[in-house]
Amino acid sequence: MENELLEPWHAITEDRRGEGFVSELYKEVIKGHPLYGKQVELIARRYDCDEILVKVVNEEIWASVHLTWSIKPEQTPTVPYTVVFESWEAVYKRLILVDHQDFEG
């Protein structure tokens, strides 16, 4: 199950069609956002919306982030909308499987 992805999620990295996602994340978050000041690596993207999955470097923390593409800091720390997970198992059960079931209809 480690790093297993199901539709609509697909693996993507900054060097493989992912240019700009992490950069945009850093532009959008402000102090108080759960990812503010954290270095993250891009894990995956939903290909049907602007949602990405990142992992905090050197921590057991993953986050699903719905980017706004505002290209500037947001006005509130609750934007971009972010859900934090403390294990890959939680990511898989509460995000990957749920999104896949919704996607498959």
DSSP state of 20: T
Neighbour tally for 36: CB within 10 Å: 12
CA distance 44 to 20: 13
| Per-residue exposure over 44-83, b if at least 16 CB sit within 10 Å of its own CB, e if not | bbbeeeebbbbbbeeeebbbbbebeeeeeeeeeeebbebb
Residue ranges per domain, the chain?
9-104
pLDDT tens, the chain, 105 aa long: 567 899 999 998 666 567 789 999 999 999 999 999 999 999 999 999 999 999 999 999 999 999 999 989 999 999 999 999 999 999 999 999 999 999 998
pTM over 0.85: yes
